[in-house]
C-alpha cells in the first residue's frame, strides 16, 4: 500500500499498476487538505489511523467493482483482518448509507457501528454534535453555493 488519501480512500500499486481504492461499506469524516476549518471532526484521525496501519505494508483486496470516477471498491485486509471493519469499530467511520455492491455483506458493519456508538468511540463521542459525512457534504455544497452567490453580489456592487 503506498498512499492514503483520506479515511476511506487509499492508493495501492500492484504489478506496476496504481489503483485508487474506496473502502467499501464505510464513510469516513470529510477531510479538506487546503482549509482545516472546512474539514469534519475526526477526519485527520481517520486518515492518520489508516496511514499508521497500512502505509508501506502489503494488503489484500476483495473487490466489488468500480464506483464513478474510476474508484475501485474494495475491502482491505491486513494480516487477514478487515481494515474497513476496523475503521468502524474504532469510531473513525460510519457504515455507508448508500447502495451496497452485489455480494457485499454489511451486517457485521452495522453491529460494529452499534458497538462503537454505545462505547462513544471516535465520531460517536461527539453525541448530538455528530453529523454524518453525507450530511456534511450536502452542507458543504450549500455553503459553497452561498459563497458563489455572495461573491457574485459583492463583485457586482464593486463595479
Say what the pLDDT of residue 9 is: 97
Please state, rounded to an integer, the average pLDDT across all residues of the chain: 89
Asked whether the beta carbons of 136 and 100 are under 8 A apart, the reply is no
Higher pLDDT, 91 or 139: 91
Strand-pair partners of 20: 11
Task: Please tell me the predicted confidence (pLDDT) of residue 33.
Answer: 74
Alpha carbons 156 and 50: distance in angstroms, whole number: 46
Neighbours of 117 (CB within 10 A): 17
Instruction: Tell me what pLDDT residue 157 has.
Output: 42
Nearest to 135 by CA among 59, 41, 14, 33: 41
DSSP state of 68: G
| Direct distance between the N- and C-terminal alpha carbons of the chain, in angstroms, rounded to an integer | 52
Residue 70 pLDDT: 85
- Predicted local confidence at residue 155, as pLDDT: 45
Q: What is the pLDDT of residues 103-150, one digit of tens each?
A: 999 999 999 999 999 999 999 999 999 999 999 888 876 665 555 565
Under DSSP, the state recorded for 70 is G
Confidence of residue 60 (pLDDT cuts 50, 70, 90): very high
Span 53-76, average pLDDT? 94
Q: Which residue has the higher pLDDT, 74 or 138?
A: 74
Quote the percentage of the chain above a pLDDT of 70: 87
Kindly state the average pLDDT of the residues 41-70. 95
User: What does residue 146 show for φ and ψ, rounded to 5 degrees?
Assistant: -65, -40
The domain defined by 3-158 folds into: OB fold (Dihydrolipoamide Acetyltransferase, E2P) (2.40.50)
Give the start-to-end residue ranges of the domains of the chain. Answer: 3-158
Residues 141, 76: Cα–Cα separation, whole Å: 30
Amino acid at each position: 500500500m503506498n498512499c492514503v488519501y483520506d479515511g476511506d480512500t487509499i492508493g495501492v500499486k500492484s504489478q506496476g499498476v496504481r489503483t485508487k481504492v474506496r473502502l467499501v461499506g464505510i464513510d469516513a469524516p470529510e477531510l479538506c487538505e487546503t482549509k482545516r476549518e472546512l474539514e469534519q471532526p475526526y477526519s485527520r484521525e481517520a486518515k492518520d489511523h489508516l496511514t499508521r496501519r497500512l502505509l508501506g505494508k502489503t494488503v489484500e483486496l476483495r473487490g466489488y467493482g468500480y464506483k464513478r470516477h474510476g474508484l475501485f471498491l474494495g475491502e482491505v485486509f491486513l494480516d487477514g483482518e478487515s481494515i474497513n471493519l476496523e475503521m468502524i469499530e474504532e469510531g473513525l467511520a460510519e457504515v455507508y448509507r448508500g447502495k451496497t455492491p452485489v455480494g457485499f455483506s454489511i451486517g457485521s458493519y452495522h453491529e460494529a457501528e452499534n458497538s462503537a456508538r454505545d462505547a462513544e468511540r471516535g465520531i460517536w463521542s461527539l453525541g448530538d454534535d455528530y453529523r454524518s459525512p453525507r450530511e456534511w457534504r450536502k452542507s458543504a455544497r450549500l455553503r459553497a453555493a452561498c459563497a458563489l452567490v455572495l461573491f457574485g453580489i459583492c463583485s457586482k456592487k464593486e463595479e
